[in-house]
Amino acid sequence: MLKNITLSAEAEIIKKAREKANNEHTTLNATFRQWLKQYINRNTKTIDYNNFMDQLNYVEPGRHFSREELNER
């Protein structure tokens, strides 16, 4: 279910945003809904990334491989 909200911005900014959305074959409302989804998922992605990196804690960076080791098959 969609729910209405009210936002305030300068008239010129709204006009330019509507024009840009129109050029992208969308609406300002659709663009804002997409932005809201990205906004709420932004921290989730960071947390997911941090959890992923924590799972890789067994990896010890810093070892340098010789040319022979890099070319082994």
The confidence score (pLDDT) of residue 39 equals 85
| pLDDT at site 49 | 81
Give the residue ranges of the chain where pLDDT is below 50: none
Report domain extents, the chain: 11-57
User: Integer distance in angstroms from the first to the last C-alpha of the chain?
Assistant: 58
- Can you give the pLDDT at residue 7? 92
Q: Which residue has the tokens 């082994």?
A: 72
Q: Which amino acid is at 22?
A: N
pLDDT in the model for residue 63 = 77
